[in-house]
């Protein structure tokens, strides 16, 4: 646990009592604060009260009397589409609002660091797609080469749940826009933007607000190194804003699919090969194609980001390459589930938006595509140009009929349930085909989260294959 500093002897309110909120409350108490808390759910309040956390309705008059700060859990809206009433009450009372990410950055460094030979570092990863894979890959490389490391944030442990730093340690944080948007302190040593595509637009008041939330990691934090995906205009803009000149190697530009020219520090992947260029000269080259845990161009972009991060730590290219070879991949992210009679089965349940699903569709050929769920704003127009590898779509979810109607030029069967979609897709698959779950939608119409959806897919696949013998 990271005891929260700066609030000793003060009263701090916590809003939201899920895993993150309860961990925040404990870390505040460990730092000497008195904690009061609220959750809109009676279940959350009861669970927290059972752990000894004092419950107070933060929406009633006078709730913030004597309160020094309000700490808000990531899932709770603080501005768009409308602020939570407890957040609005904190504004009216003049109480500063923060989140656990802000508390982490203000509390992680301690006086103990003065005795370390190598100062600990924090690598923070954000972006629309690829955050988890990039974070996990960095952590895997560091672990493989023997560098002490912890993985936290949106993946692994909560940021305040991790252990205090040891000499030379690197903490890798996956940070969503929900987390970067509100944190008052954002001071990573290395910050990464993988890419940007429309997502969570209602939460951020549109694409501009969404990008602004991501940009805060760089603009507020002032990292020593910024690694920026420049395949979209927002990334090109950010890299330009952070650079004082093309040769400014504090900014590392990364790309999947285009060669990056110029005198700066560039890492890009083309046709399955990762290249590092510095001052206009190539200094390293890695063949990514044999790495089973990183299939497709979208994962090659993740590899570029992870490679660049590890290079900022002084790790040699060949050492990074060797570590990448053993990367197993993440569950629900281009995860190979089975291979039978020349048919591969891939679980990419994390493809919860059109852009991430499009990237998955580009990674494979002869696709039996299981898709559908709760559609996000913008519809499916952006995925239509990427359907040329789809032999047939098998549509699930409450909106299956509407989803299928939008798939112009593709044979689409309305299956509704996962079990039916898997059974039909596997029955119709031929040698050389890939049965791919890449929903392009949120899961909440049928499942609690994308993990549950992915687990249901795996179970359905295993049941079919077991019955086939």
- Residues annotated as binding site for ATP? 127-133
Two structure tokens written together for 109: 């460094």
Other residues' Cβ atoms within 10 Å of the Cβ of residue 263: 15
Closest residue by Cα to residue 73 from 139, 20, 135: 20
Q: Is 334 helix (H, G, I), strand (E, B) or coil?
A: coil
Closest residue by Cα to residue 158 from 200, 221, 103: 103
Q: Which residues are documented as binding site?
A: 127-133
Say if CB 190 and CB 155 are below 8 A apart. Answer: no
Dihedral Cα 8, 10, 15, 19, nearest 10 deg: 20
Q: What is the spatial distance between Cα 68 and Cα 371, in angstroms, rounded to a whole number?
A: 47
Q: Are strands 390-396 and 170-174 parallel, antiparallel or unpaired?
A: unpaired
Distances (CA, A) of 230 to 128, 181, 189: 13, 21, 20
Give the helix, strand, coil percentages of the chain, each rounded to 5: 35, 25, 40
Say if CB 27 and CB 6 are below 8 A apart. Answer: no
Spatial strand order in the sheet of 412-416: 335-340, 343-347, 434-437, 367-371, 390-396, 412-416
Say if CB 15 and CB 87 are below 8 A apart. Answer: yes
């Amino acid at each position: 646990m990271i005891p929260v500093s700066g609030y000793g002897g003060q009263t701090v309110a916590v809003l939201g009592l899920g895993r993150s909120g309860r961990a925040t409350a404990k870390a505040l108490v460990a730092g000497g604060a008195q904690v009061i808390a609220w959750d809109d759910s009676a279940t959350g309040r009861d669970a927290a009260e059972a752990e000894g956390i004092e419950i107070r309705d933060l929406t009633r008059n006078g709730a913030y009397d004597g309160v020094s700060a309000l700490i808000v859990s990531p899932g709770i809206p603080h501005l768009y589409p409308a602020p939570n009433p407890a957040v609005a009450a904190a504004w009216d009372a003049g109480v500063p609002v923060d989140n656990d990410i802000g508390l982490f950055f203000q509390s992680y460094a301690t006086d103990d660091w003065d005795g370390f030979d190598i100062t600990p570092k924090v690598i923070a990863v954000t972006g629309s797609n690829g955050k988890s894979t990039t974070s996990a890959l960095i952590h895997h490389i560091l672990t493989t080469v023997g560098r002490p490391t912890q993985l936290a944030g949106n993946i692994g442990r909560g940021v305040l749940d991790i252990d205090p730093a040891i000499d030379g340690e690197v903490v890798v944080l996956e940070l969503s826009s929900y987390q970067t948007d509100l944190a008052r302190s954002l001071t990573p040593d290395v910050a990464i933007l993988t890419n940007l595509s429309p997502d969570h637009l209602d939460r951020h008041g549109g694409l501009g607000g969404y990008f602004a939330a991501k940009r805060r990691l760089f603009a507020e934090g002032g990292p020593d190194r910024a690694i920026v995906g420049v395949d979209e205009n927002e990334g090109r803009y950010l890299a330009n804003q952070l650079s004082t000149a093309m040769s400014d190697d504090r900014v590392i530009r990364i790309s999947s699919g285009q060669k990056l020219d110029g005198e700066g520090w560039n890492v890009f992947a083309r046709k399955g090969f990762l290249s590092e260029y510095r001052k206009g000269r190539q200094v390293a080259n890695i063949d990514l194609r044999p790495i089973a845990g990183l299939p497709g161009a979208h994962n090659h972009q993740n590899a570029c980001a992870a490679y660049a991060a590890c290079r900022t730590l002084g790790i040699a290219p060949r050492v990074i390459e060797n570590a990448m070879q053993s990367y197993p991949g993440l569950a629900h992210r281009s995860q190979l589930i089975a291979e039978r009679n020349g048919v591969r089965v891939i679980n990419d349940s994390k493809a919860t938006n059109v852009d991430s699903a499009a990237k998955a569709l580009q990674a494979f050929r002869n696709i039996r595509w299981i898709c559908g769920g709760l559609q996000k704003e913008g519809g499916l127009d952006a995925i239509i140009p990427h359907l040329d590898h789809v032999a047939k779509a098998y549509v699930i979810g409450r909106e299956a009929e509407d989803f299928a109607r939008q798939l112009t030029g593709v044979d689409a069967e309305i299956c509704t349930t996962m079990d039916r979609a898997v059974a039909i897709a596997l029955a119709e698959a031929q040698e050389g085909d890939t049965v791919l779950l890449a929903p392009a939608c949120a899961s909440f119409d049928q499942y609690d989260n994308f993990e549950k959806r992915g687990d249901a897919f795996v179970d359905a696949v295993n049941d079919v294959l077991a019955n086939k013998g």
